[in-house]
Amino acid sequence: MTATRAESRAGRRPPARIRRPSLLTLTVVLVIAALLINGWGQGVTMRPDALATGVFRLGQFLDDAVPPDVDRIGPILKALLVTVEMALLGTAIGVVVSMPLAVLAARNTSPHRTCYTAGRAVITICRTIPDLVWGLIFVIAVGLGPQAGVLAIAVDVLGFCGRFFAEAIEDIDPGRIEGLRALGAPRVGVLTGGIIPDCLPSFVTTSMFALESSARSSVVLGLVGAGGIGIELATSMTLLRYDEAATIILAILGVVVVFERVSAAIRARLIGGEK
């Protein structure tokens, strides 16, 4: 009888109250609220009249862009090929450099705390600075052209892949590493015989995502003088040649879709192979 009464009282127990937010949480909420209010007052939000005007101008753009002009299809395809090569080469360089950096930035494989801190710092810097800013920096360093774009993509991929590669290494079973070390395997043997084979599917998947991102970034980098199709697009838009710009946009769309489909097919094949 006593147990029944206790269960009945437990069933009538009121739900737990919302915990009082900490000072840090309250500060963050107030800062975000202040930014939203200030942004609304400064006109950052989209006003209905501006939206209506924008739709009308967009209609004019579409009217001028259709049908697309293919008179310069040769130079456009040549610039598009440069963009594809930038994405592929920059991604390849970034992925290759990311692997040893990830080994240094993973707790279970880094040889020293200093190496771990330095590796994480490099990854953080590469990830924090946008690829467009890297493009501007490398344009100043090496001049206009695809070389600046390749370097900017490589650094951006280095930050992206370096982080996820390091996390994949940290997530592997510690027993695998300890077993190889117990058998007397050197550090290189532990990496090549235990860590890399176990993390390879994750490495490939992350690299494919990086390649998709690089295909889009290579177009934007051309707008700052890093070579590729972005220069052609910027020139067409500046000269109000919207029909030519439409051809360039369609070409970019086709390349990005191909990159995404190939990447998705490789990931699906990889996942299917694991099963």
% of the chain beyond a pLDDT of 90: 9
pLDDT at 71 > cutoff 50: yes
- pLDDT at residue 97, as a whole number: 92
What element of type H or E holds 203?
Answer: helix 196-221
> Roughly what angle, to the nearest 10 degrees, separates helices 73-105 and 229-238?
130
pLDDT in tens, 168-222: 888 877 766 667 666 666 666 667 667 777 778 888 888 888 888 888 888 888 8
* Domains held by the chain: number: 1
Higher pLDDT, 44 or 251: 251
pLDDT at 14 > cutoff 60: no
Structural contact between residues 153 and 90, judged by C-beta atoms closer than 8 angstroms: yes
Residue 170 lies in a domain: yes
Q: Using DSSP, state whether 119 is helix, strand or coil.
A: helix
- pLDDT at residue 93, as a whole number: 93
Please choose, from the candidates 78, 214, 81, the residue with its C-alpha nearest in 3D space to the C-alpha of residue 135: 214
- pLDDT at residue 92, as a whole number: 92
User: Which CATH number covers residue 233?
Assistant: 1.10.3720.10
Residue 193 lies in a domain: yes
pLDDT, mean of residues 63-75: 80
Name the pLDDT band for 7 (thresholds 50, 70, 90): very low
Place of tokens 């991604």: 91
Residue 26 lies in a domain: no
Structural contact between residues 132 and 224, judged by C-beta atoms closer than 8 angstroms: yes
Residue 63 lies in a domain: no
Which long-range contacts link 107-113 to residues 24+ away (Cβ below 8 Å)? 107/170, 108/169, 108/170, 108/172, 108/174, 108/177, 109/169, 109/177, 109/190, 109/191, 109/195, 111/187
The amino acid sitting at 134 is W
CA distances from 201 to 144, 204, 270, 271, 272 (A): 37, 5, 7, 8, 11
Tokens representing residue 152 in the block: 């900017």
pLDDT at 248 > cutoff 80: yes
pLDDT in tens, 108-148: 878 888 888 998 999 999 888 888 888 888 888 888 888 88
Residue 125 lies in a domain: yes
Structural contact between residues 156 and 217, judged by C-beta atoms closer than 8 angstroms: yes
Residues 6+ apart with CB under 8 A from 101: 119, 122, 123, 158, 162, 165, 166
Residue 16 lies in a domain: no
- pLDDT at residue 254, as a whole number: 87
Structural contact between residues 86 and 153, judged by C-beta atoms closer than 8 angstroms: yes
- pLDDT at residue 1, as a whole number: 47
Residues 6+ apart with CB under 8 A from 106: 116, 166, 167, 169, 170
- pLDDT at residue 49, as a whole number: 65
- Other C-beta atoms within 10 Å of 195: how many? 21
- pLDDT at residue 89, as a whole number: 92
- pLDDT at residue 75, as a whole number: 85
Residue 35 lies in a domain: no
Name the pLDDT band for 229 (thresholds 50, 70, 90): confident
Tokens representing residue 64 in the block: 């001028």
Higher pLDDT, 159 or 3: 159
Dihedral angle at the C-alpha atoms of 155, 156, 159, 161, nearest 10 degrees? Answer: -110
Residue 253 lies in a domain: yes
Higher pLDDT, 9 or 191: 191
CA angle, 177 then 162 then 217, to 5°: 155
User: By residue range, what is the domain housing residue 107?
Assistant: 71-274
Please choose, from the candidates 259, 266, 141, the residue with its C-alpha nearest in 3D space to the C-alpha of residue 211: 259
> Which of 52-56, 230-234, 271-275 has the highest mean predicted lDDT (pLDDT)?
230-234
pLDDT in tens, 80-98: 888 888 889 999 999 999 9
pLDDT, mean of residues 66-80: 83
- pLDDT at residue 212, as a whole number: 84
